[in-house]
Amino acid sequence: MDKAPNCAMQFLIAEIEELFDNRDHAIKAYDRVKGPRNLVTIPKITHYGIYGEAREQAQKLALDWFNKYLK
């Protein structure tokens, strides 16, 4: 995260992540961010659930984040 020291970052992770361990990826990255940050675990979804059953929730979270920090 040294290349984007004050960049606002939001991490959306699947509660039932089956492809890799969230602690080794998104959570580790989240812990390293120095700027505004947000970590959201979407309950009851798998890795690709963000594109299906959690799509509306993810879109709302993204739009809210963009409007607050990136607009």
Domain boundaries along the sequence of the chain:
9-70
**Model confidence band, residue 1 (pLDDT cutoffs 50, 70, 90):** low
Predicted structure pTM score: 0.85
pLDDT band of residue 5 (cuts 50, 70, 90) is: confident
C-alpha–C-alpha distance, residues 22 and 13, integer Å: 7
Question: In this structure, what is the dihedral angle of CA atoms 47, 12, 67, 69, given to the nearest 10 degrees?
Answer: -140
Contact in structure between 13 and 51 (CB atoms under 8 Å): no
Q: Quick one: pLDDT at residue 3?
A: 76
Average pLDDT over residues 52-59: 96
Query: Taking phi first (over 0 means left), then psi (-120 to 50 degrees means alpha), and beta for anything else, what does residue 44 get?
Result: left
